Each structure stands twice: as structure tokens, then as C-alpha cells.
Amino acid sequence: MSTLSTREARGATDTFEEFVTATAGRLLRTAVFLVYDRHLAEDLLQVAYERVARRWRRLADGDPEAYARRVLVNLAIDEGKRRARRRDLPAGSVADLDRIAGRDPLQDSPLDGELEDALRALPAQQRAVVVLRYWCDLGEREIADTLGISRGTVKSHTARAMAALRAHVREGRTHGR
């Protein structure tokens, strides 16, 4: 049984433009899950792509998507800290992406409002761990590398985030939602 590298599994890209085309949907959706503001997510993704472009010669033979994802997560966490100081309200939601993509807005969203609210309420690093684990399907080691934290910290963030999400769901059920 042969194991495909991330580059082989995702499809090799020869140029930066092909890389952007191949990853834009995944990375934008990841960014929206991280910051819950479609416009801000697009801005952060643009900055991440700019940083990848500057280092393209070194990154092209490795895993530029992992680098872009790490930049994106760091930007989202930094933005979360700035936002907490400013108390801005986010504009847009994950559902906006479905409308832009041409999906039926009446169809169930992958996240209902309750789960979206619960994810939004998580601290930035916990939300980043959950998004990287369950949306990007990364393992503990990859998440630790992306966030620059230990595997133990990934485990504890995951456990705390999942406990908070479960509590939120239980609370919603007891209040008749």
C-alpha cells in the first residue's frame, strides 16, 4: 500500500496561479470558519497568498498549502485579538459562501445557526483547532505544526472546544430550540 504525499493527493501545481486556483475554495472556507466574516476572510486569504507568492520558489516543491494555511490561521488569531479590543461585529456568514457558490440558500447549510454560534463563541485557538481538525482533516501533528503549539495543547484545545460545543447543544435542547 503506497501513501500519497499531500502534494500528490491535492494535485501538483507548477505555477503560483495554478496553486491559487486549486486551493482558493478550501482556504477561503477555512478562513470563514476561523473569523466568521466573509469579507475579512477574503482579505486574510489575500495576505496569505501574497506571502506564499513572495516565497513561491522555496515553497513550490514542498507543501505551499500547509504554509498558506499556517499564515491564514496566524492572521485569523491576530485579527481575533484586534477584534476583541475593538468589539467590531462580523459581517457575513458561512451561509454567504453557499449563496456565492450558487447553492440553494433554502437548502440546509452545513452549519445550522446554533452550531455556527457555538463555533463563533469559542476562543480563537480552540476554534482554529476544531476547524483544522474537522474541516481541513489535519492530524494532531499537522495542527501542532500549523499553530506552533505542542500536540498535547492540540489535544487539550480539542477536548475543551468539543466540551463547549456539546454543552451549547445540550443547552439549546433544554431551552426548546
pLDDT tens, residue by residue, 22-68:
999 999 999 998 888 899 999 999 999 999 999 999 999 999 999 99
* C-beta separation of 169 from 116 below 8 A: no
* C-beta separation of 31 from 41 below 8 A: yes
- Three-state SS at 99: helix
The cell numbers describing 8, all together, are: 500528490
* C-beta separation of 6 from 66 below 8 A: yes
Q: Which CATH architecture has domain 111-176?
A: Orthogonal Bundle (1.10)
The cell numbers describing 62, all together, are: 514542498
The pTM of the full predicted model, rounded to 2 decimals, is 0.63
Given this model, what pLDDT does residue 110 score?
45
Sequence ranges of the domains in the chain: 14-110, 111-176
Spatial distance between the Cα atoms of 118 and 4, rounded to a whole number of angstroms: 35
